[in-house]
Copies of this chain bind each other. A is one copy, B any other.
Amino acid sequence: MCELLGMSANVPTDICFSFTGLMQRGGNTGPHRDGWGITFYEGKGFRTFKDPNPSCKSRIAELVQQYPIKSRAVVSHIRQANRGGVSLENTHPFTREVWGNYWTFAHNGQLTGYEQLVTGRNQAVGDTDSEIAFCWLMNQLEIRFPVLPEDMTPVFGYFAECCDTLRQLGVYNMLLSNGDYVLSYCTNNLHWITRRAPFGKASLIDEDVTIDFQRETTANDVVTVIATQPLTNDESWQKMVRGEFRVFHFGETVYHAVAADANAC
């Protein structure tokens, strides 16, 4: 299994605090030794830092923890390899340009029968189930919506349907972003929390670090963090249910659906 971390915010926000917690799970408080990656969007552009080495020992992870890159959309992942060897091309997140946007994807879980997924123009470079699922997902969307419509509601509806299909292949917990929206899908393990005024303090589970968000934010800030497991032990995280699809924009939920067959899974 792997761990996911995402963020959606209405102002450029640094994710150093949450990232510090996550990185400890990469070989220290957790067994995720097989690489890590993080993508920060800034406008329509993005920066990805990744490393096939354990995050708790990575010099690049250290830079990311200390250097506060401010972003409104972040997707991050630490890996414990199951499908696909330990290599840079198999390290999440994966990015593809579709509709003139960069889409960035990370997956937690394991799929079977994924080799049959038709990925069309988007070919996988590595050999993970995750990258193939991502390429299939974007191919399905591009076929259905050759041009991105202004009203995203039907697009989100179709994203949710496609994620439901992938859940039939196994465990599919997902984060996906184009820098504007952060899309999340849960099979069994995904939590989120929205922080807004009045801000309080929070303490990391994985390291002895406490932050006072009051000092780091303004009264209008809305910041949602999404993670496989809660990262703090003194806040109330929302647990997503099986088959739940949730889209965040500027920190707020803008689309929400739960698969009709979710209870039957």
Chain B residues with CB below 8 A from A123, complex form: 97, 99-100
Considering residues A60, A99, A102, A124, which has the most beta carbons from chain B within 10 angstroms of its beta carbon? A60
Q: How many copies does the complex hold?
A: 2
Against B, the Cβ 8 Å flags (1 = close, 0 = not) of A19-55 are: 0000000000000000000000011111111111000
Chain B residues with CB below 8 A from A50, complex form: 47
A145 on the B face (CB < 8 A): no
Q: Looking at the complex, which of A86-94, A159-167, A205-213, A218-226 is the stretch in contact with chain B?
A: A86-94
A215 on the B face (CB < 8 A): no
Against B, the Cβ 8 Å flags (1 = close, 0 = not) of A66-101 are: 010000000000000000000111110000110111
Chain B residues with CB below 8 A from A100, complex form: 123-125
A143 on the B face (CB < 8 A): no
Given that A63-B60, A88-B46, A125-B45 are known contacts, is A97 also in contact with B99, CB under 8 Å in the complex?
no
A91 shortest CB reach to chain B, Å: 7
Instruction: Tell me how many residues of A have a C-beta within 8 Å of chain B.
Output: 32
| Other-chain contact of A126, B44, B96, B99 (Cβ < 8 Å) | B44
Question: Whose C-beta in chain B lies nearest to the C-beta of A50?
Answer: B47
- The CA of A63 and the CA of B51, in the complex, are separated in Å by 14
A126/B63 in contact, CB under 8 A: no
A10 on the B face (CB < 8 A): no
A87 shortest CB reach to chain B, Å: 5
A89/B44 in contact, CB under 8 A: yes
A144 on the B face (CB < 8 A): no
Chain B residues with CB below 8 A from A91, complex form: 45
- Which residues of A are interface residues toward B (Cβ below 8 A)? 42-52, 59-60, 63, 67, 87-91, 96-97, 99-102, 121-126
**13 CB < 8 A contacts A-B:** A42-B87, A43-B88, A44-B125, A45-B89, A45-B91, A47-B48, A48-B48, A49-B49, A59-B67, A97-B123, A100-B125, A101-B125, A102-B125
